[in-house]
Structure 1
Amino acid sequence: MTALDDLDLAHAPGDAPVAFGAELTAPVLLAAYRRGLFPMPGDDISAAFNEAVHAPDVVAGRIRVLPGPAAQDPYALAWWSPDPRPVVAPDRVHLPTRLRRSLRGRLRWHTTADRAFGEVVARCAEGRRPAWLTRGLREALEQLHRGGAAHSAEVWDGTALVGGAFGVAVGGVLSLDSMFRHRPGADRVAVADLAARFGAVDGRLLDAQWDSPHVRAFGTSPMARPQYLRALAAPSAVAPLTTEPLPAARLG
């Protein structure tokens, strides 16, 4: 049991945090993804902002404050469950025509999966403000990766890591957390590669978490929270991802 298990999402906000607090450990993190939640930890400035904006909803009971470590400001750890969620089937992930054409000439580009998870997460964290990929979250994610629940895709130009993406899988749903690029389009290629590998082992749905024009460009469409939660709970027999190097040109 975790502090998140008794959260009622039926009447929880879809455009604000569902809860604050709890402890950011690998078991809690996995339980959160299984319930359609994901964390947004932050620093003192983020905590002060959360308290200033959302304290009235906490007082009114619309947002829960969960028990956590005594030394931790509960407002420094927000749990979100956006409604609706932007989702796309693995075989429907879209790459721009120009990028697909350019891949045919990038013969040194290849992709792998789960070969450099920690490095992908670290590079996704570089220069991000607010810095939500905190050390505690990164450690919990790496534990999930070692347990087979978190996955990364890597894009290589020869021996150089030029792009990547990572997320957490729950049954047939893969929730994408972040991506990075050091070459134009390499982040999009990483998402397309992760989608292709997930679909090849009977994964059914990719979740981009936050709806925006940027993620809509991948082919996502909004799914209401109740439908998304049913997709999470559906029986699934997804096998481990293939990790071997594959030519990026195949995605074009």
Structure 2
Amino acid sequence: MATTLTPEMLLSAYSSGIFPMAEHRSDEGLFWVDPRQRGILPLDGFHISRSLAKSIRSDRFTITYDFDFAGVVTGCANREETWINDMLMTLYNQLHRARAAHSVEVWDNGVLVGGVFGIALGGAFFGESMFSHRTDASKVALAYLVDRLAVGGFDLFDTQFITPHLASLGGVEVSRARYRKRLRAALELDADFDRQTGVSDAYSLLQRNVHTS
């Protein structure tokens, strides 16, 4: 169990293929995770259904990047079961201030209703968590994140594990060995989360991504 952890130690762990979790929100310690099967979301295989495309094209949601990082982390942690404890919340916010952690926010009439956040290293993006308080809000956040990563030159979107939700969007599992090979290659890339300025319009986003059903 880890009782103290610095942002530098956390980045080093991610570059080695491991990541920390807590047992629950009030847990003061962390444990390291190194899955045998790793979840990834291929940036050239993100699945946008017709219903999700409709949500993206609508004027229902407003999208921002890195506007309310702390709010997204809080939204992800404020659930009955969570692996994000106070130590991780502090570390994520420290990494955000260092421009190593980023978020996508989804707003509905000025209210934060969904989002996703993660850590960027080279051409690898380590997705941490997402939340949704409106139908499709987290899916919309992921669509805009995938688009931004692709434009920014990223090659690996690590989702840690695969859930039915992620699988429906194109997420797949790869072996630990294959993941680490891809991770090593991605870390050598000069990607930039901020390469894209502004927010993609819905038409451009849908044209650049897979829409199969």
For residues 41 and 141 of structure 1, do their structure 2 counterparts lie closer, same or farther at Cα, with a shift above 3 Å needed? same
One-letter code aligned to 2:71 = E
Bigger Cα Rg = 1
One-letter code aligned to 1:231 = R
For residues 203 and 159 of structure 1, do their structure 2 counterparts lie closer, same or farther at Cα, with a shift above 3 Å needed? same
One-letter code aligned to 2:131 = F
Counterpart among 42, 46, 50 of residue 93 in structure 1: 46
For residues 94 and 158 of structure 1, do their structure 2 counterparts lie closer, same or farther at Cα, with a shift above 3 Å needed? same
- What residue number does 2:4 align with? 23
Q: Note the alpha carbon deviations across 1:103-159, whole angstroms, 9 max, x for none.
A: 32x214221211111110011111241x32111101101111111211111112242
Higher mean C-alpha displacement, 135-144 vs 156-165: 156-165
How far 1:243 moved relative to its partner? Answer: 5.7
Asked if 2 retains the 8 angstrom alpha-carbon contact of 1:152 and 1:165, the reply is yes
Counterpart among 97, 100, 103 of residue 56 in structure 2: 103
In 1, the alpha carbon distance for the partners of 2:200 and 2:144 equals: 9
How far 1:249 moved relative to its partner? Answer: 6.4
| Bigger relative CO (Cα 8 Å, ≥ 6 apart) | 2
Structure 2 stretches lacking a partner, 5+ long: 207-213
Aligned Cα RMSD in Å?
2.2
Q: Note the alpha carbon deviations across 1:141-182, whole angstroms, 9 max, x for none.
A: 111111121111111224222210011122211111110112
For residues 162 and 246 of structure 1, do their structure 2 counterparts lie closer, same or farther at Cα, with a shift above 3 Å needed? farther
Structure 1 stretches lacking a partner, 5+ long: 1-19, 47-71
In 1, the alpha carbon distance for the partners of 2:60 and 2:162 equals: 33
- What residue number does 2:211 align with? none
SS at match of 2:103: strand
1:52-131 equivalences in 2 (<5 Å): 76-104=29-57, 106-129=58-81, 131=82
- What residue number does 2:190 align with? 237
Q: Note the alpha carbon deviations across 1:49-100, whole angstroms, 9 max, x for none.
A: xxxxxxxxxxxxxxxxxxxxxxx7xxx3211011221212223212332121
Counterpart among 136, 139, 142 of residue 90 in structure 2: 139
Asked if 2 retains the 8 angstrom alpha-carbon contact of 1:109 and 1:248, the reply is no
Counterpart among 109, 113, 125 of residue 174 in structure 1: 125
Asked if 1 retains the 8 angstrom alpha-carbon contact of 2:124 and 2:158, the reply is yes
Identity percentage of aligned residues: 36
- What residue number does 1:188 align with? 139
How far 1:31 moved relative to its partner? Answer: 1.2
In 2, the alpha carbon distance for the partners of 1:89 and 1:29 equals: 24
In 2, the alpha carbon distance for the partners of 1:212 and 1:180 equals: 14
TM-score, length basis structure 1 = 0.73
Asked if 1 retains the 8 angstrom alpha-carbon contact of 2:156 and 2:183, the reply is no
One-letter code aligned to 1:237 = D
Report the number of matched residues.
203
Counterpart among 156, 162, 179 of residue 211 in structure 1: 162
SS at match of 1:90: coil
For residues 44 and 148 of structure 1, do their structure 2 counterparts lie closer, same or farther at Cα, with a shift above 3 Å needed? closer
In 2, the alpha carbon distance for the partners of 1:133 and 1:247 equals: 32
How far 1:35 moved relative to its partner? Answer: 1.0
TM-score, length basis structure 2 = 0.85
In 1, the alpha carbon distance for the partners of 2:164 and 2:25 equals: 30
For residues 43 and 91 of structure 1, do their structure 2 counterparts lie closer, same or farther at Cα, with a shift above 3 Å needed? closer
In 2, the alpha carbon distance for the partners of 1:79 and 1:134 equals: 14
SS at match of 1:198: helix
Asked if 1:228 is matched to 2:182, the reply is no
